[in-house]
Structures are given as C-alpha cells and as structure tokens.
C-alpha cells in the first residue's frame, strides 16, 4: 500500500509519541521498583514533585472524552458544555481538597495499598473490601474500553485506514501494558506527565489553527455559529438535552463526585511528597482541568460552521466524526498528527492508571486477603502483573468484539455513577460526622441501593420497566442514584452497630490530631 | 477518644477552611443554578454567548480565589 506524505507525517507523530513514552516511562532508574513488593508496584509513595503532579494527575483524570469526545459533544450540543466548570473546578476544590490529604495521611500511617483496603480496614470487614474491589472493577472494566475505542477510531481514521481499527486497539493496549507491566504505578506517573503535556499541546494547537481559519476573529466565529445553529449558543442546546434539570443533575451528580474518589486518584494521592502537596495540588489542578476545555469551544463551534451536518458516508460517520473530518481535510499534517497522538495520550493516561489501580484492588483485597493469605511478596507481585495483563487484554477484546453488547453499553454508561455510590463508605471512613457514623452495613447496602436505582433510572426499558423511569422528571439518573445511596446508607447506619471504637481512634482521632497539627484552628493559634 | 466528645468537624475549621467552604457553596450554586438562567441571553456579551462568558468568569474567579485563599497562613 502506497503511503502519501500526509499519512507519513501522521505516522511519524504517532511513532515519535510512542518512542517518547517509552523513553520517559520505561528507561532510567526512576521508574524501577525500589522494592519488589505489592506496595511499591501498586502504590509507590512520596516521590512526585509538585509541578509534575499537576500534569500527570490532570492527564490521568481527563479521559478520551477530552480528545476527541468533547469536540463531538460541543458539535452536537453547543455551549452547554461549559457545564464542565461544575466538575473541572468543583471536583478539585470540593472533593479532592477534602479527601485527598486525608487519604494520603491514612495510607502513609497504615500502609493501605488500595482504596478498597482503606475502606475494609475502617469498617473492619475484608468482605466489604473485596466487594468494593470487585464491584468497582466490574463497573469500570467496560469503561476502560471508552479510553481505547475513541483513540483507536481516530488513529485508524487519521492514517487513512493504514492502521486498521483492530490493530489500533491492540497497539494502544500493548503500549500501555508495555510500561505498566514492568514498572507499575511509577511507569504510570512518568508517562502521564508527558501525556498531559501532549494533550494540552494538541487541544490548544488545534484551536489556534481553527481560529486562523476565521482570521483570528472569535467574534466572527460566534456570529457565524449563531447564524448556522442558533440553538448551539444557549440552552437546552442543539439536541435539546441541556434542560436546567439535566444541566445541574448531570454535571454534578454524574461526574463531579466519582471523579474525585476514583480508585486511580487514591493511588495518585499517595505519590505526593506530603499531605500539604496533595492539598496544594487540589488548588492548582482546576487550571489544567478547565484550561484543556477552553479551546474546545472553538473546535466544536468552528466545526459546526464548516460542516453543519455531520458526515453521513465514509469511514467515520455521525457527530463525533465531524471534527476529525474537518481536521483531516484542512489541518497541517503535523498538527493532525499531534492531535491523533494527543487523543492516544488522553485515553492511555487514564487506561494505564485504571489498569494498575484495579489490578491492585483485585490482587490485594480479593486474592491476597481472601484466597491465598500466606505467600511471598514475589508471588503477589507476579500475580499482580498477570492481572494487569489480563485486564488489559480483556479491555482490548471487549473494545473489538463486545463493545456493542447490551451489558457493556450499560456498564460504560453507568461506570461513574456506580463509583459515586462509594461516597458514603469513603466519607464515613475519613470524615468525622459527630455522633453519627456510617456503618459497614450502611456503606454496603447504600452501594447496593444506589446501583439498583442507577440501573432502573438509566435502562428501564431494557429491564422491562416503564419508560418514564428513564431520568425521572428530567433529572439525570445519577441524582436518583445519589439520593437512594445516601438515604439507605444513613437509615441503615442508624439501626446497625457503629464501626469499632478502634477504627474511630485509628482513623478519625488520628486525622483530627494530624490535621490540627498541620493547620491549627485560628483560635488555638491565637 | 470518648463518645461524649465526638469529633464533629468536616474540614479543619480554620479561617482559610471557612472561606474555601463558602466559595464552594457560592460558586457551585452560581454554576449549577444561575448559569442556566443566564443561558437565555445567548449572544450578548462582546459577541460571545452569555452562558459561555458567565461560566468562564465564575469558574476562573473561583479558581483564583481558591488558590489565593489556599495560600493564606491559616
């Protein structure tokens, strides 16, 4: 097959990105394990410079939805996507600020490897830890595919089919396995720094180019967008989806909460050199999380102006295909290549941390805690690497062969909502609530109730239920999930035995002392 | 640690903590509930969509105030 210059440049960018990835994430003593232990592989701690956390954690948090998903979202809905400020700022300045330093302090004190181990330790239940590990892994495994399918589609499209979709999927997965399998979360961290930089470069570079097509005149761009698609400049947007009810219930309940407590974030909180660094990162990271979406308004609306109806024929069709089609047609080859590499970076930077974090929970809190309790660290480390490999291959397999199965589409849509149901269990462990305590049964049944209500209000007809149960009264299913989750967690906690006094001492009293020492209250200091 | 004296703070109740909590309530309220009202002014602020301008101003103000407050002594 003959390769034209444009394809060659795109391939060069992709190969260059992959080479850089392995140089940063696979070479040098900084990524090598310091000890051959589960802890050092799955949850290394206290080595990440503050500035690097900003790039790395930002890349880790932004998924493939960032590139190319958000452009397609803007193209379809319009400026309603600025709802992203609800989560790009709210997640960091509310949830990460609140839970991050506490998780760092607790893990440093008691050596928990995973989020589920921390939960199990507070509630004194290995079964709850195992349940959380299995539940979150089952919920998120299908979501891994979202971070593969989007970039793989773009890679295949961008190379003009030179790299078929199936090969693109395995390429993305194998690269991630290549640096996570030997180096665990250290490999994740160093590659995420690079990926975070590539993502910023790709989105801002594309926006600068797109603006040049409108003579650098944003006024002209918005005016033209108003002529072509007036609904795109207000609510409920081009597809009528962004009603006031949906605006707040979707952005806050479906995204803001789970984004702050995802298992991969737990690992990240431990990388910082101190709890104070975790706190400061929560203050600074909204700049990264928001800034990456600022240029997307230009990309989405400019695409709408240049291509008012999405491509109906060709290699890629539908709203998500509009932006790549425009870029493939007009963008300089180098920029087009950087954008495709940026999309791979967006997906891989989340997939890598997800692979390691979830493998860690399955090995530490299911295999080690329940199935094979007495084995060497070398054994657990080997099993950990095998699980990373299995999860990676499973995600690749689902992306190619099972992405359209009902169970997979259900899980992709529900992953964030399911993770959100961990909130009572997490807050119960690390935030004192006076005399009221979340209990083991409250945490467990809260998760179960939230998951059931989430499924019923997202896929009622699939489950044979009335269609009015879909996002009842116009509010996103995540709001109803949140209500069921907390109401059941609180009611059950009121009538079941509280966590042992030992847990209160080890978690709440310990955090109280640590935080008061770090941040003395104004009166005490005066 | 006795049950008679429960630890009942949610965040370290410093002046800084209080300010950050107030910002969270005020700015998240503006973003979640006031922004959809502003959306009905679609094309009015310097040629930019009112919703886009409003959410950017609120979001970035929150970020800047958060950082500034976060570096207060206590």
* Per-position DSSP letters for A252-298, written without gaps between them: IIIIIHHHHH-HHHHHHHHHBSSHHHHHHHHHHHHHHHHHTTTTHHH
We report the CATH number of the domain holding residue A117 as: 1.20.1730.10
Under DSSP, is residue A364 helix (H, G, I), strand (E, B) or coil? helix
pLDDT of A207 over the 90 cut: yes
CA A312/CA A11 separation, integer angstroms: 26
Task: State pLDDT tens for residues A47-74.
Answer: 999 899 999 999 999 999 998 889 999 9
A7 CA: distance to closest CA in chain B (Å):
36
CA A101/CA A107 separation, integer angstroms: 10
Q: Which range, of A53-62, B3-12, B13-22, averages the lowest pLDDT?
A: B3-12
* Phi-psi category of residue B5: left, alpha or beta, with phi > 0 → left and psi -120 to 50 → alpha: beta
In this structure, is residue A489 part of a structural domain?
A: no
Q: Which two tokens stand for residue A476?
A: 């996103």
- The whole-number average pLDDT for the span A18-32 is 87
Asked if residue A423 lies in contact with residue A257, where contact means CB atoms within 8 angstroms, the answer is: yes
In A360-387, which positions are buried (b, 16+ CB within 10 angstroms) versus exposed (e)?
bbbbbbbbbbeeeeeeeeeebbebbbeb
Asked if residue A396 lies in contact with residue A165, where contact means CB atoms within 8 angstroms, the answer is: no
Asked if residue A374 lies in contact with residue A138, where contact means CB atoms within 8 angstroms, the answer is: no
Find chain B residues with C-beta within 8 A of A219's C-beta: 46-48
- The whole-number average pLDDT for the span A360-367 is 98
- The whole-number average pLDDT for the span A330-357 is 97
Q: A40 Cβ partners below 8 Å, 6+ apart? A: A33, A34, A184
pLDDT, position A33: 87
Length of chain A: 526
pLDDT of A516 over the 90 cut: no
pLDDT, position A1: 62
CA A127/CA A130 separation, integer angstroms: 5
In this structure, is residue A512 part of a structural domain?
A: no
In this structure, is residue B55 part of a structural domain?
A: yes
| Angle, helices A97-110/A510-518, rounded to nearest 10 degrees | 120
Find chain B residues with C-beta within 8 A of A85's C-beta: 31, 55-56, 58-59
Q: What is the domain extent for residue A121? A: 5-404
Give the number of domains in chain B: 1
User: Of chain B residues 22-61, which have a CB less than 8 A from chain A?
Assistant: 23-24, 27-28, 31-33, 35-37, 39-40, 42-43, 46-52, 55-56, 58-60
B72 CA: distance to closest CA in chain A (Å):
11
Chain centroid to CA A71: 17
Q: Note the ipTM here.
A: 0.93
* Closest by Cα among A80, A3, A50, A517 to A301: A80
Give the number of domains in chain A: 1
- The whole-number average pLDDT for the span A247-275 is 95
* Closest by Cα among B32, B24, B31, B22 to B54: B31
Task: State pLDDT tens for residues A372-401.
Answer: 999 999 999 999 999 999 999 999 999 999
Give percent of chain A with pLDDT exceeding 70: 99
The three-state (H, E, C) secondary structure of A98-145, written as one string:
HHHHHHHHHHHHHCCCCHHHHHHHHCCCHHHHHHHHHHHHHHHHHHHH
Which one-letter DSSP state was computed for residue B45? Answer: B
Find chain A residues with C-beta within 8 A of B32's C-beta: 86, 247-248, 251-252
CB contact under 8 A, B20 and A98: no
- The whole-number average pLDDT for the span A152-163 is 94
In this structure, is residue B64 part of a structural domain?
A: yes
Q: What is the domain extent for residue B66? A: 26-70
In this structure, is residue A323 part of a structural domain?
A: yes
pLDDT, position A231: 92
Q: Which two tokens stand for residue A398?
A: 């689902």
Q: How open is the CA angle B32-A228-B44, to the nearest 5 degrees? A: 50
Cα dist. A165→A159, A218, A246, A333 in Å? 10, 36, 34, 20
Q: Indicate the pTM of the whole model.
A: 0.94
pLDDT of B48 over the 90 cut: no
pLDDT, position A522: 63
pLDDT, position A227: 92
In this structure, is residue A482 part of a structural domain?
A: no
pLDDT, position A23: 92
pLDDT, position A446: 98
pLDDT, position A404: 77
In the block, which residue shows the tokens 């199965």? A405
In A73-90, which positions are buried (b, 16+ CB within 10 angstroms) versus exposed (e)?
bbbbbbbbbbbbbbbbbb
The three-state (H, E, C) secondary structure of A191-216, written as one string:
HHHHHHHHHHHHHHHHHHHHHHCCCC
Q: How open is the CA angle A189-A39-A398, to the nearest 5 degrees? A: 60
Strand partners, B45: B48
- Indicate which of B59, B61, B73 best probes the interface with A, i.e. most A CBs within 10 Å of its own CB: B59
In this structure, is residue B9 part of a structural domain?
A: no
In this structure, is residue A384 part of a structural domain?
A: yes
pLDDT of B11 over the 70 cut: no
- The whole-number average pLDDT for the span A99-103 is 96
pLDDT, position B3: 47
CA A503/CA A515 separation, integer angstroms: 17
pLDDT, position B2: 44
Report whether the peptide linkage leading into residue A236 is cis, meaning its omega lies within 30 degrees of zero: yes
Cα dist. B18→A325, B11, B26 in Å? 49, 9, 12
Report whether the peptide linkage leading into residue A68 is cis, meaning its omega lies within 30 degrees of zero: yes
Helices (H), A27-96: 38-42, 50-61, 70-77, 84-88, 90
In this structure, is residue B33 part of a structural domain?
A: yes
- Indicate which of A78, A79, A216, A436 best probes the interface with B, i.e. most B CBs within 10 Å of its own CB: A79
In this structure, is residue A474 part of a structural domain?
A: no
* Phi-psi category of residue B60: left, alpha or beta, with phi > 0 → left and psi -120 to 50 → alpha: alpha
Give percent of chain B with pLDDT exceeding 70: 77
pLDDT, position B42: 63
Indicate the average pLDDT of chain A: 94
In this structure, is residue B14 part of a structural domain?
A: no
Q: Which range, of A191-205, A212-226, A230-244, B3-17, averages the lowest pLDDT?
A: B3-17
Give percent of chain A with pLDDT exceeding 90: 86
Task: State pLDDT tens for residues A403-428.
Answer: 777 777 777 778 999 999 999 999 99
- Which helix (H) or strand (E) segment is A15 a member of? helix A5-26
In this structure, is residue B12 part of a structural domain?
A: no
pLDDT, position A526: 46
pLDDT of A20 over the 90 cut: yes
pLDDT of B12 over the 80 cut: no
* Closest by Cα among A388, A398, A514 to A144: A398
Q: A339 Cβ partners below 8 Å, 6+ apart? A: A67, A154, A158, A202, A205, A206, A327, A331
CA A98/CA A283 separation, integer angstroms: 11
Q: Which two tokens stand for residue A27?
A: 């070479």
Find chain B residues with C-beta within 8 A of A287's C-beta: 63
Query: Number of CB pairs < 8 Å for A and B?
Result: 141
Q: A17 Cβ partners below 8 Å, 6+ apart? A: A198, A341, A344, A345
pLDDT, position A29: 78
């Amino acid at each position: 097959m003959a390769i034209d210059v444009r394809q060659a440049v795109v391939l060069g960018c992709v190969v260059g990105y992959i080479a850089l990835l392995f140089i940063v994430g696979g070479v040098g003593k900084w990524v090598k394990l310091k000890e051959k232990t589960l802890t050092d592989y799955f949850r290394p701690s206290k080595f990440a410079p503050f500035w690097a956390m900003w790039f790395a954690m930002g890349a880790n948090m932004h998924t493939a939805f960032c590139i190319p998903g958000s452009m397609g979202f803007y193209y379809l809905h319009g400026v309603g996507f600025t709802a992203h400020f609800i989560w790009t700022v709210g997640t960091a300045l509310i949830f990460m600020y609140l839970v991050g330093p506490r998780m760092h302090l607790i893990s440093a004190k008691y050596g928990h490897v995973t989020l589920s181990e921390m939960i199990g330790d507070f509630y004194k239940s290995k079964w709850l830890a195992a349940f959380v590990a299995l539940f979150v892994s089952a919920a998120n495994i299908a979501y891994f595919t979202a971070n593969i399918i989007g970039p793989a589609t773009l890679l295949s499209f961008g190379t003009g089919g030179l790299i078929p979709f199936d090969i693109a999927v395995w390429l993305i997965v194998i690269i991630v396995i290549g640096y996570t399998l030997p180096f665990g979360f250290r490999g994740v961290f160093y590659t995420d720094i690079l990926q975070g930089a590539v993502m910023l470069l790709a989105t801002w570079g594309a926006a600068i180019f797109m603006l040049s097509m409108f003579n650098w005149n944003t006024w002209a761009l918005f005016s033209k967008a108003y002529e072509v698609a007036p609904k795109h400049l207000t609510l409920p947007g081009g597809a009528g989806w962004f009603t006031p009810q949906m605006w707040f219930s979707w952005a806050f309940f479906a995204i803001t909460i789970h984004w702050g407590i995802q298992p991969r974030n737990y690992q990240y909180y431990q990388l910082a050199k101190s709890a104070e660094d975790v706190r400061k990162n929560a203050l600074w990271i909204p700049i990264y999380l928001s800034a990456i979406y600022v240029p997307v308004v230009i990309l989405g609306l400019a695409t709408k102006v240049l291509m008012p109806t999405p491509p109906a024929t060709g290699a890629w069709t539908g709203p998500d295909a509009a932006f790549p089609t425009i870029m493939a047609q007009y963008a300089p080859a180098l920029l087009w290549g950087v954008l495709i590499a940026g999309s791979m970076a967006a997906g891989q930077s989340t997939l890598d941390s997800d692979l390691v974090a979830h493998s860690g929970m399955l090995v530490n809190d299911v295999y080690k805690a329940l199935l094979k309790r007495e084995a060497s660290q070398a054994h657990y480390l080997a099993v950990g690497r095998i699980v990373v490999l299995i999860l990676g291959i499973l995600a690749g397999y689902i992306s190619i062969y099972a992405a359209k199965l009902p169970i997979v589409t259900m899980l992709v849509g529900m992953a964030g909502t399911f993770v959100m149901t961990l909130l009572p269990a997490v807050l119960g462990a690390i935030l004192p609530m006076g005399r009221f305590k979340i209990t083991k049964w409250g945490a467990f049944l809260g998760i179960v109730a939230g998951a059931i209500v989430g499924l019923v209000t997202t896929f009622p007809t699939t489950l044979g239920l009335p269609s009015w149960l879909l996002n009842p009264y116009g509010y996103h299913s995540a709001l109803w999930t949140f209500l069921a989750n907390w109401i059941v967690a609180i009611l059950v906690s009121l009538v079941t035995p509280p966590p042992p006094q030992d847990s209160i001492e080890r978690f709440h009293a310990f955090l109280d002392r640590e935080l008061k020492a770090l941040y003395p209250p104004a009166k005490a200091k005066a | 640690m006795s049950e008679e004296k429960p630890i009942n703070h949610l965040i370290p109740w410093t002046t800084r903590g209080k300010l950050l909590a107030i910002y969270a309530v005020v700015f998240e309220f503006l973003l979640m509930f006031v922004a959809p009202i502003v959306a009905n002014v679609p094309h009015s602020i310097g040629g930019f969509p009112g919703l886009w301008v409003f959410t950017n101003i609120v979001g970035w103000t929150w970020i800047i105030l958060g950082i500034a407050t976060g570096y207060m002594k206590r």
